[in-house]
Amino acid sequence: MTKNVSAHAVSLSRRKLLQASGIAAGGLLLATALPFSRRSYAEQYVNKGPEDAPLDTPTALGAFLRIGHDGQVTLISPKIEMGQGVQTGFAMMVAEELNVTLDQVRVQEAPPDEKLYGDKLLGFQATGGSSSTRSNWQPLREAAAAARLMLIQAAANQWGVSPEECRAENGKVIGPGNRELVYGALVDAAAKLPVPENVPLKKPEDYKVIGQPLRRLDTPGKVNGSAKFTIDLQLPGMKIATVNACPVVGGTLVSVDDSRARAVPGVRDVVKLDNAVAVIGDHMWAALKGLKALEIQWDMGPNAGIDSAQIERALHAAFDREGAIAAEAGDINKAIAGASSKIEAEYEMPFLAHATLEPMTCVAQVREDACELWVGTQVPVMAQQAAAKAAGLPPEKVIVNNQLIGGGFGRRLEADFIAQAAAIAKHVDYPIKLVWTREEDTAHDLYRPHYIDRFSAGLDANGMPVGWSHTIVGASVMARFAPAAVPPNGLDADAVEVSNKPIYKLPNLKVRYVPEAPKAILNSWWRGVGPLHGAYVMESFIDELAYAAKQDPVDYRMKLLGDHPRAQAVLKLAAEKANWSQKLPTGHGRGVAVQEVFGSYLATVVEMQVDAQNGIHITRLICVADCGEVTNPTSVHSQLEGGTMFGLSAALYNEITIKDGHVEQSNFHDYRQLRMSDAPPVETHIIPSHEVPGGIGEAGTAMIAPALVNALYAATGKRIRRLPVARAGYHVA
Amino acid sequence: MLTLNINGADHQVDVPDDMPLLWVLRDVLGMTGTKYGCGIAQCGACTVHLDGTAVRACVLPVSNIAQGQKIVTIEAVGKSDLGKKVQDAWLEHEVVQCGYCQSGQIMSAVALLTQHPDAGDAEIDAGMSGNVCRCCTYTRIRGAIKSVSQA
């Protein structure tokens, strides 16, 4: 138990303690008048009176865990499930320390509450940044272990024995003479006990659940159609809304003739917003036909003339500005001037859409006194605030029922569509389900920034780097998303991640960042975030240095990784698995990338053949990870496989372009994604480790682009410095 | 008024002729296992069976469905031996990530395996490439299908 928690626990009143411990479910589920659904923890949470506040302090135990009289263990998950398997991982941590089986743990989504559920790595309540396991590994296990100790103590008290004579097993406490009490029978007594101050956690050799390849809890409903995503929810009286927003960022609605739309059978309402028009119907088809029948006049605003070429010119021009120093060591000018040889390169990454398969969707009901949302979101507090602002209500009057997410990838770290749903719902007296079309989703995303990176390096007579200069230009996501997190010089920690702390030994170094916000396009988080950019450019350039030095790319990296034995270990294993030293025929090649990303060490190797028609055949794709202690190896393998291919899809094909101020791509025919026929087999290997857990949800994604372009170089002698590789005429054969 | 035979039962629906089956299933009949992803038959999330053949419900107007044609959706595909085998293989191989596309993937896989009970890589590529998985669970989808086709 942390100091804060135990210090707080002693000052709690008995009633507060009961609630803070969270052991007796009855103590938390308070029957107050609820405006709407009466069905979730979320609305009960919102409607708490001050006396009945379920939890008013950040006690991990009470915030995360409840056990009912029926013995049901409920984990209040501060992280949403969007396919990464995090809720099963959390349930495994709880099952481990509470000595119950995984099927005894049920998961509920946490309501918005920054104090309780704010992520300690991210600094706010969010599912992102591959932080979930890293942030919750300690507090979740401590909460469960504390609950176990309290249940044992309660049983010992009842039997008049010492707790040392008792043990917890499979949801029961077992005492002398093999007498037993189930947890459900102990919760009332346990809830009256103080939270223990010292909570020893199990040692890895005693794990029974953690480390096992267990099946996910959320998958059965996802193979038989019964799982409900936001888009599947149906409320009494609910109608379906779909929307057209002004094609150009910054544009506004001038007027709309909705007479033809209102004549479409099934259309119920047309709602005008400042920059969008929504059509509401009995079903999506009516809403879609109504939308098509609208005659809208937009004022396209100041960005109407912007195109990709202008944006790229502005990015290039930004190199002339000083920007902010992200890292500096030694004397870079002297080092490069005195080097035996000098190498320069410029890399470029495009804007990317998220293209989650479940498009942006939010169910909202707005009344005078409250607003209720049912929405899969990575940011419940931001969702609450955005809806409150749109609905004209205080945030505490907004109930957020978080839902399973049909693909997040960072897109649902934004609340734009949630605010829009609340704004639409405010105009009508029934709940609406706002469903974006794929076209709306593609063209009104917030996109991964377009980055341009320039490097120059000086090499000594042996070809090793003596000076390393790196300048990054691109939009600062943080400056838009959380301006307070950016210092006055504009140094965005995300934009320079990986680049500012190279894992390679680089004695003289200067890394500079020049923020340049493009016109006509908003930028946001995209799976892999900073490391996706940093790993691509660094692993591309180090590869160029290796070839310039006429050294093997694995050997070259290995020499520069002396300070990072875990990086050397993943690189060594990846090279072994790939038979790296075995020569390949002409037209074939292998490329490698190694980095520390999200607190994990990864090495990825791509082996390919490139045919005479520029067709790429990926013959092998190997990914080795050391991500510390693994909770569920199946989830880690899945994230490495899927995450790697997610990055591959973008590196091969994807680029969002702007013309006349609007996004040119609209759907999967012109924003194509990796399909079965071009999906290579991904071999994944996990290095066993008891180090603290690292992130894994985005790690594979960050590594694949450099391994891909490095393999292309090895196979063809052509260096691709601008993504996607399809720009250079390559395709998957 | 149209009569649609869905999962073995007749449903009377009063909907516009041009309304795609997808929205009839989801918004009129409340069968939400069939998903919307693109609306233009590019992603396969809406895949259902029409007389045993995989079709994209998002571009299939209900008036194009002849009386008596049998529609099967993800909600009932597990009633057939093959459908159940495929769903079990999906769980056994821990295919699912976010899960949003998997209804369509399973419907395509069952149709593929109906036509090619011993489907290998080439048939899987051909039969499954109409289904996009943004979590990119392709390696495991392939493994799950092969566990059925090569059992």
Question: Which candidate, A56, A34, A37, A57, places its Cα nearest to that of A46?
Answer: A34
For residues B90 and B40, membership in a common domain is answered with: no
Phi-psi region of A530 (alpha: psi -120 to 50; beta: other; left: phi over 0): alpha
Residue numbers in A near B42 (CB within 8 A): 667-669
Across the interface, whether the CB atoms of A676 and B142 are under 8 A apart is answered yes
Give the chain A residue whose CA is nearest to the CA of B25.
A283
Question: Minimal Cα distance from B61: which residue of A?
Answer: A285
CA atoms in the 13 A half-sphere facing the CB of A643: 33
Q: Answer with the one of A435, A468, A486 that is the final residue of a domain.
A: A435
Inspect the interface and report whether the beta carbons of B99 and A234 lie closer than 8 Å. Answer: no
> Closest-CA residue in chain A for B45?
A357
Residue A216 in domain: no
Whether B48 has its CB under 8 Å from any CB of chain A: the answer is no
User: Which two three-digit tokens encode residue A353?
Assistant: 């859409």
Full residue range of the structural domain in which residue A57 is found: 3-210
Q: Are A468 and A563 in a shared domain?
A: yes
User: Which of A82, A88, A217, A222 should we substitute to test contact with B (largest number of B Cβ atoms within 10 Å)?
Assistant: A222
Q: Residue A667 belongs to a domain with what CATH number? A: 3.30.365.10
How many C-alpha atoms does A144 have within 13 Å on its Cβ side?
27
A367 and A317 in a common domain: no
* Per-residue confidence (pLDDT) for residue A71, from 0 to 100: 87
Which chain A residue shows the shortest CA-CA distance from B21?
Answer: A285
Nearest beta carbon to residue A225 from set B74, B91, B141: B74
Tokens of B91: 């769980």
- From CA A222, how far away is CA B137, in angstroms rounded? 14
Q: Which of A404, A435, A466 is the C-terminal boundary of a domain? A: A435
Q: How far apart are CA A725 and CA A449, in angstroms?
A: 17
Could you tell me if residue A224 is inside a domain? no
A645 chain-B contacts, CB cut-off 8 A: 136, 138-139
Whether residue A496 sits in one domain with residue A367: no
- H/E stretch holding A686 reads strand A683-686
pLDDT of amino acid A338: 95
Under-50 pLDDT residues of chain B: none
Instruction: Note whether A357 contacts B124, CB cutoff 8 Å.
Output: no
Residues B102 and B128 in one domain: yes
- Interface A:B, Cβ pairs < 8 A: 183
At residue A61, the pLDDT reads: 59
- For chain A, say whether B49 makes contact (Cβ under 8 Å): no
| Residue B17 in contact with partner chain A when CB distance is under 8 A | no
B72 and B84, same domain (yes or no): no
Identify the residue among B82, B98, B137 best suited for mutation to test binding to A, counting A beta carbons within 10 A and taking the highest.
B98
Count structural domains, chain A. 3
> CATH number for the domain including B10?
3.10.20.30
* A456, A416: one domain: no
Let me know whether B116 and B142 are in one domain.
Answer: yes
| Residues B71 and B88 reside in one and the same domain | no
A681 neighbourhood in chain B, CB within 8 Å: 139, 142
Contacts of A283 in chain B (CB under 8 A): 15, 19, 23, 26-28
Task: Work out whether strand A600-610 and strand A588-597 pair parallel, antiparallel, or are unpaired.
Answer: antiparallel
Interchain proximity B36–A231, CB inside 8 Å = yes
| Interface touch B94/A438, C-beta < 8 Å | no
Which chain B residue's Cα is nearest to A235?
Answer: B30
User: For residues A685 and A572, is the Cβ–Cβ distance under 8 A?
Assistant: no
What's the Cα-to-Cα distance from A58 to each of A8, A9, A91, B61, B81, rounded to whole Å? 9, 11, 20, 54, 51
Distance (Å, rounded) from C-alpha A418 to C-alpha A523?
18
How far apart are alpha carbons B49 and B21 in whole angstroms?
11
Q: Does B141 touch chain A (CB under 8 A)?
A: yes
Of B76, B98, B118, the position where a domain reaches its end is: B76
Q: Tell me what pLDDT residue A47 has.
A: 38
For B85, name the nearest residue in chain A, comparing CA atoms only. Answer: A223
**Which CA distances in Å does A547 have to A3, A79, A554, A583, A717?**
53, 44, 11, 16, 10
Does A223 contact B133 at a Cβ distance shorter than 8 Å? no
**Which one of A82, A288, A679 has the shortest CB-CB distance to B98?**
A82
> What is the 3-class SS of A242-291, one letter each residue?
EEEECCCCCCEEEEEECHHHHCCCCEEEEEECCCEEEEEECCHHHHHHHH
A181: left (phi over 0), alpha (psi -120 to 50) or beta: beta
A371 within some domain: yes
Q: Is residue A440 part of a domain?
A: no
**Closest among A264, A300, A351, A326 to A656, alpha carbons compared:** A351
Distance (Å, whole) CA A104 – CA A306: 56
CB proximity B148 to A under 8 Å: no
Residues A532 and A383 occupy one common structural domain? no
Q: Are residues A280 and A407 in the same domain?
A: yes
Contacts of A634 in chain B (CB under 8 A): 94
If asked whether residues B113 and B141 sit together in one domain, one would say: yes
Domain boundary among B76, B99, B127: B76
The predicted pLDDT at position A62 comes to 67
CB contact under 8 Å between A84 and B35, yes or no, is no
CATH number, position B93: 1.10.150.120
Chain B stretch 95-114, residues whose beta carbon is closer than 8 A to a beta carbon of chain A: 95-103, 106
Q: Which residues pair with A523 in a beta bridge?
A: A447
Residues B45, A222: C-beta atoms closer than 8 Å: no
Of A383, A408, A435, which residue is a domain's last? Answer: A435
Contact B94 A215 (CB under 8 A): yes
Q: Would you say residue A442 lies in a domain?
A: no
A665 and A578 in a common domain: yes
Q: Kindly state whether residues B52 and B108 are assigned to the same domain.
A: no
- Contacts with B66 (C-beta within 8 Å, 6 or more apart), sequence order: none
Phi then psi for A417, rounded to 5 degrees? Answer: -75, -25
For residue B26, list chain A residues with Cβ-Cβ distance below 8 A.
232, 283-284
Whole-angstrom CA distances from A409 to A422, A529, A625, B137 are: 23, 10, 20, 15
Give the pLDDT of residue A42: 40
DSSP string, chain B: -EEEEETTEEEEE---TT-BHHHIIIIIS--TTS--S-SSSSS-TTEEEETTEEEEGGG-BGGGSPTTPEEE-HHHHTTSHHHHHHHHHHHHTT--SS-TTHHHHHHHHHHHHHH-TT--HHHHHHHHTT---TT--HHHHHHHHHHHHT-
**Cβ–Cβ of A359/B37 closer than 8 Å?**
yes
Please state the domain count of chain B.
2
In the numeric block, which tokens belong to residue A97?
A: 């320390």
Q: Is there a single domain that holds both residue B127 and residue B90?
A: yes
Query: Between B16, B94, B136, which is nearest A216 by CB?
Result: B94
Look at A404 and B34 and tell me if their CB atoms are within 8 Å: no
Give, as one character, the DSSP assignment of residue A104.
Answer: G
Structure confidence at residue A188 (pLDDT) = 86
Q: Which residue out of B42, B96, B106, B140 would a mutagenesis test of the A interface target, given it has the greatest number of A Cβ atoms within 10 Å?
A: B96
Q: In chain B, whose CA is at the least distance from the CA of A527?
A: B135
Contact yes or no for B27 and A240 at CB 8 A: yes
User: Which residue in the set A282, A438, A676 is minimally distant from B37, CB to CB?
Assistant: A438
B39 touches A: beta carbon within 8 Å:
yes
Does B135 contact chain A (CB < 8 Å)?
A: yes
Among residues A255, A404, A698, A323, the alpha carbon closest in space to that of B96 is found at A404
Residue numbers in A near B47 (CB within 8 A): none
Buried b (16+ CB within 10 A) or exposed e, A567-604: bbbbbbbbbebbebeeeeeeebbbbbbbbbbbbbbbbb
Same domain, B124 and B87: yes
Q: Are A666 and A443 in contact (CB under 8 A)?
A: yes
The answer to whether the Cβ–Cβ distance between A634 and B140 falls below 8 Å is: no
Give B44's Cβ-side CA count (13 Å radius): 22
Residue that terminates a domain, selected from B32, B55, B76: B76
Same domain, A653 and A562: yes
The amino acid at residue B65 is: I
Same domain, B22 and B7: yes
Are A295 and A314 contained in the same domain? no
pLDDT, averaged in runs of 10, over chain A (733 residues): 30 32 32 31 38 33 80 91 96 97 92 87 92 92 91 96 97 97 91 85 97 96 97 96 98 98 98 98 98 98 98 98 97 96 98 98 94 96 97 94 96 98 97 98 98 98 98 97 94 97 96 97 98 98 98 98 97 98 97 98 98 97 98 98 98 98 98 96 97 97 98 98 98 92
Q: Answer yes or no: do A343 and A287 share one domain.
A: no
Same domain, B145 and B89: yes
Query: Which residue in the set B39, B74, B87 is minimally distant from A437, CB to CB?
Result: B39
Other beta carbons within 10 Å of A170: 12
For A214, name the nearest residue in chain B, comparing CA atoms only.
B94
CB-based contact A646 B98, cutoff 8 Å: no
Both tokens of A503, joined, read: 């894992």
With an 8 Å Cβ cutoff, are B124 and A223 in contact?
A: no
Q: Do A645 and B97 touch (CB under 8 A)?
A: no
Q: Which of B14, B21, B27 is the best residue to mutate to test the A interface, defined by the most A CB atoms within 10 Å of its own CB?
A: B27
- Give the domain range for residue B59: 2-76
Using only C-alpha atoms, what is the Rg of chain A? 27
Would you state the pLDDT for residue A57? Answer: 31
CB A374 within 8 A of CB A363: yes
pLDDT digits (tens, 9 = 90+) for B50-78: 999 999 999 999 999 999 999 999 999 99
Q: What is the pLDDT of residue A120?
A: 85
- Please state, in angstroms and rounded to a whole number, the distance separating the CA atoms of residues B4 and B31: 13
**Contact criterion met (CB < 8 Å) for A285 and B140:** no
Assess whether A187 and A263 both reside in one domain.
no
DSSP state of A450: P
Both A78 and A99 in a single domain?
yes
For residues B71 and B86, membership in a common domain is answered with no
Q: How far lies A248's CA from each of A112, A241, A305, in Å?
A: 32, 21, 10
| Nearest in space to A694 (alpha carbons), one of A134, A204, A137 | A134
